[in-house]
Amino acid sequence: MAYYFNMNRISIEDRARIVSCLVEGNSIRSTVRITGFAKNTVTKLLVDIGRACTVYQDKVMRHLGSIPDQLNLSTVKLTHPDMLMRNVEICE
């Protein structure tokens, strides 16, 4: 059975309105009230945006230089036994 994918697509302008509401910090429920779209529509668009961002970052962000991270034991909890046995160099 073939599916017609363009049947229930919202326009680019409406997608931009939804994304701008979410970027501004509105919750999904308030975005639904502001834009008039269903909660399921907003949630599915959010998932699609997340997938698109993942694909973009996987393609673009390659071979980045990294600097050694400093370990702050006041914020890191080492609870796994293997983590407790490792030699940890503390940078201050």
Q: Is residue 77 part of a domain?
A: no
pLDDT, residue 64, reads 74
Q: How confident is the model at residue 61, as a pLDDT?
A: 86
The tens-digit pLDDT sequence of the chain (92 residues) is 454 555 578 899 999 999 999 999 999 999 999 999 999 999 999 999 999 999 999 888 887 776 666 555 555 555 555 555 454 444 44
Residue 88 identity: V
pTM score = 0.59
Using CA atoms, how far apart are residues 68 and 18, in angstroms rounded to an integer? 38
Question: Is residue 21 a part of any domain in this protein?
Answer: yes
Domain total in the chain: 1
Cα 91 from Cα 89, distance rounded (Å): 6
What's the pLDDT score for residue 91? 46
Residue 81 lies in a domain: no
Residue 27 within any structural domain of the chain: yes
Domain that holds residue 23: 12-60
- Res 34: pLDDT: 96
Residue carrying the six token digits 């940078």: 91
